[in-house]
Amino acid sequence: MLKFSKKRPRLIVIFILTVIISGSILTYLSISHISNYRELLEKKISEEERELANSFAVGFQHNLDSLTMKLSTCVENSTSRSLKYLNKIDGENGLIDYVVIDSTGSYLIPNFINGDESFIQSNSAPIFSSKLRNAENNEFILKDYKSAATLYLLTLKIAKTTYDSVLVHNSLGRLYLKMNLQQKAFGAYQTMLLKYSSILNSSKFPYAYFSVIKLIKMSDSSNVESLERLLVHFLNGLANGSIPLNESTLEVLDLINVWQHKFLKTPNNIQFEELIKFNKNTTLQLNQYKTPIDKILKDEYIEFSKEQTIDYLPIKPTSGSTEEIMLFYRNKIYSFGFIIGLKQLFAMTLQSQQMNDLKFDYTIKLVEKTGNSLLLNSNLITLTEFSILFEDCFIQVSLKNENIIDETVFKRKIIYGIGLFLFLGIMLFGLYLLIQNVNREKQLNKLRADFVSNVTHELKTPLTSIHMFAEALNLNKEKLDSKQTKYTNIIVKESEKLKRMIDNILEFSKKENNILSYKLESSNLTTIVKSTLEEMSYFLEMSHFEVSASIENNVVANVNPEGIKLALSNLISNAIKYASSNKKLNIKLYRNESEIFIEVEDFGIGIAKEDLELIFEKFYRVNSSENETKSGTGLGLTVSKDIINKQQGKLLVKSELGTGSTFTIILQTT
């Protein structure tokens, strides 16, 4: 773990704070951005869904409009007695089927006959009618089946119309069954079906239906193949309209279905089954719309006249299915009912829908309106009505991948996480490099300080000898001439000055290596101040200083005398160095109850306000023109302040540029 002592450069702390603050800001921003991001995504999805739903509704309406245009054209062009134009819309996309009804209300397409309607029989020749009655008399009253058979056959010969012929064949079939002549009966019904399939009886019931019912009743394993052929003929007839559909078609188809399950084996009956299914569907589909159409035709459908905006009347199927609707066009000659398939129109619209420029993938579905539809709207699923014709349905637009929001947010989280991780990693790496650099710097500083301390230490020894010997010479002043005395004096003072400089450097390197300690002892400050002034008097005199001293007697304090001496001589030496023309120096030593003051006041160049704080910094030297010529190390005040601080004292300065400075050492009394 990194341990930062007080001495660690502030840069590291600043850097760490920067890392922590910017890391926290980035984390906070990322988290808040991610939570906003989810909201933004949801908003975007809702917008896109709405957009898509609207454009789908427009597309759907467009397809519907173009279809109804074609249908209207077809209706307009079919007002003459031809229905040829219908071919053009056959296979039109979205159109499932259509019905055409003539002016009498009869169904032309598909061929459907209402059995309950009265029917005008074609007039038979009187001779045919009397012969037929005779044969029927034999069959029903006399029960002479043989004669009846002969008479029916004779009647058949004089039959002029298909209606007459089918009537006789029907009678013959019935009679042969009574006579138990299965094969002959089969033949009679077969002829009825093959030759007279579209002929209707007096109740408008097609004879083909009779024959099919009878033939199925006669069916056994021996006539499967021929019956299959006949039934296929019947089913094809229904499908192509040559045999009409009617109210009984479904029942007859059910009979045929039962028969085919009993007698036909797959795969034979696949085609057979399909034919049944086709006819069943056509009939069922028609049944969906027959009742409302009948009402319209009888003018009971009041709403028809209300519809002003469209030229057709929408008819919903009676089954309640929402997947199709009939557009009914009433016309003087023909009326048309076009069955429109919602699914087909939907698929067509979906195909032309542009989804490319969307951010996400969506699914568009058709859903029926239900009670909880509105609830779903909130769950990032958009439900919209899209057509008044299909008002019971909504289109539902929803995300293809429901988890896309979670996935996108997760991806974003990962990206942010990696980004943050990288950022912090780089920052930490930077911090590591910085610490390494600082440590290296510190090591170098230590080496430098050690070097300086060693060198100065080495210098101090010969200097002490020089000082000592010069002082020894000075002691025997009487043996020296005046010049020699002067020189030895210079040697003593200059070596003292040099010693002070060396002491400053040594103190400083001790401080840098954190090994500065002062032994405090009860000392007489009066003596210390006086002796320091005495030592400095040589330099003061040399610089022509006028010194005024006010030194209180017997001021004693618990201090380190060497330290105080060094600090004081530094202050006096500065007063000399930074003097102006006014070379005055006031030294004071005084005390109050708790504190002792040593004041060094000069009237030199003074110090600017902005420099006052800085002059105690190591190596700091005021950068001014007056200072340019003065040499120095920038260590004197640093060392002095340190010495005083270590003795629970203070070193204060008051100064004004151009006026002078006062440095005050404040010490605690014992």
Give the interface with ligand ADP as residue ranges (CB under 6 A): 570, 574-575, 577-578, 602, 604-607, 615, 620-622, 627, 632-638, 661
End-to-end CA distance of the chain: 44
* CB nearer to ligand ADP: pick between 382 and 532: 532
* CB nearer to ligand ADP: pick between 8 and 650: 650
Which contacts (CB < 8 Å, 24+ apart) does range 210-215 have? 210/170, 211/170, 211/173, 212/252, 212/255, 212/256, 213/252, 213/255, 214/173, 214/177, 214/185, 214/189, 215/186, 215/189, 215/190
Counting Cβ atoms within 10 Å, is residue 43 exposed (0-12), middle (13-18) or buried (19+)? exposed
Tokens of 586: 């006031």
Q: Are 207 and 172 in contact (CB under 8 A)?
A: no
- Phi and psi angles of residue 668, each rounded to the nearest 5 degrees, phi first: -80, 140
The C-alpha torsion from 436 through 441 and 444 to 449, rounded to 10°, is -140
Q: In whole angstroms, how close is the CB of 413 to ligand ADP at the nearest point?
A: 58
Q: In whole angstroms, how close is the CB of 420 to ligand ADP at the nearest point?
A: 48
Q: In whole angstroms, how close is the CB of 599 to ligand ADP at the nearest point?
A: 12
CA 604 to chain centre: 74
* CB nearer to ligand ADP: pick between 173 and 660: 660
- Looking at residue 332, what DSSP letter applies? S
* CB nearer to ligand ADP: pick between 604 and 649: 604
Task: Quickly list DSSP for 277-309.
Answer: HHHHHHHHHHHHHHHHHHHHHTT--THHHH--S
* CB nearer to ligand ADP: pick between 148 and 637: 637
* CB nearer to ligand ADP: pick between 204 and 618: 618
Which contacts (CB < 8 Å, 24+ apart) does range 220-225 have? 221/263, 223/186, 224/263, 224/264
Q: In whole angstroms, how close is the CB of 30 to ligand ADP at the nearest point?
A: 50
Q: In whole angstroms, how close is the CB of 575 to ligand ADP at the nearest point?
A: 5
Q: Are 506 and 456 in contact (CB under 8 A)?
A: yes
Q: In whole angstroms, how close is the CB of 534 to ligand ADP at the nearest point?
A: 20
* CB nearer to ligand ADP: pick between 446 and 621: 621
* CB nearer to ligand ADP: pick between 256 and 505: 505
The rounded distance, in Å, linking the Cα atoms of 76 and 73 is 5
The rounded distance, in Å, linking the Cα atoms of 192 and 206 is 10
Q: Report in angstroms the alpha-carbon separations of 84 from 78, 88, 126, 238, 243.
A: 7, 8, 41, 21, 21
Q: What angle do CA 513, 519, 523 make, to 5 degrees?
A: 140
Q: In whole angstroms, how close is the CB of 614 to ligand ADP at the nearest point?
A: 8
Number of helices (H) and strands (E), helices first, in the chain? Answer: 18, 17
Q: In whole angstroms, how close is the CB of 453 to ligand ADP at the nearest point?
A: 18
Q: In whole angstroms, how close is the CB of 10 to ligand ADP at the nearest point?
A: 22
- Looking at residue 384, what DSSP letter applies? E
Q: In whole angstroms, how close is the CB of 612 to ligand ADP at the nearest point?
A: 9
Q: In whole angstroms, how close is the CB of 607 to ligand ADP at the nearest point?
A: 5
**3-state SS, residue 632:** coil
Q: Are 360 and 27 in contact (CB under 8 A)?
A: no
Phi-psi sector, 204: left (phi>0), alpha (psi -120 to 50), beta:
left
Q: In whole angstroms, how close is the CB of 578 to ligand ADP at the nearest point?
A: 3
Q: In whole angstroms, how close is the CB of 526 to ligand ADP at the nearest point?
A: 23
The rounded distance, in Å, linking the Cα atoms of 552 and 532 is 15
Tokens of 250: 């479904």
* CB nearer to ligand ADP: pick between 78 and 574: 574
Question: Which stretches of 521-665 are DSSP H helices?
Answer: 525-542, 561-577, 636-646
The rounded distance, in Å, linking the Cα atoms of 564 and 567 is 5
Query: Among 522, 612, 611, 530, which Cα is nearest to 572's?
Result: 530
Residues 6+ apart with CB under 8 A from 278: 239
Q: In whole angstroms, how close is the CB of 574 to ligand ADP at the nearest point?
A: 3
* CB nearer to ligand ADP: pick between 324 and 507: 507
Q: Which residues pair with 650 in a beta bridge?
A: 666
Q: In whole angstroms, how close is the CB of 492 to ligand ADP at the nearest point?
A: 22
* CB nearer to ligand ADP: pick between 74 and 571: 571
Q: In whole angstroms, how close is the CB of 616 to ligand ADP at the nearest point?
A: 7
* CB nearer to ligand ADP: pick between 219 and 640: 640
* CB nearer to ligand ADP: pick between 467 and 577: 577
Q: β-strand 546-551 against 584-591: which pairing, if any?
A: parallel
The rounded distance, in Å, linking the Cα atoms of 640 and 516 is 13
* CB nearer to ligand ADP: pick between 228 and 602: 602
Residues 6+ apart with CB under 8 A from 521: 558, 559, 560, 561
Q: In whole angstroms, how close is the CB of 624 to ligand ADP at the nearest point?
A: 7
The rounded distance, in Å, linking the Cα atoms of 552 and 206 is 151
* CB nearer to ligand ADP: pick between 177 and 566: 566
* CB nearer to ligand ADP: pick between 129 and 633: 633
Query: Among 341, 352, 353, 343, which Cα is nearest to 53's?
Result: 353
Which residue, judged by CB position, is nearest to ligand ADP in the bound state? 632
* CB nearer to ligand ADP: pick between 523 and 661: 661
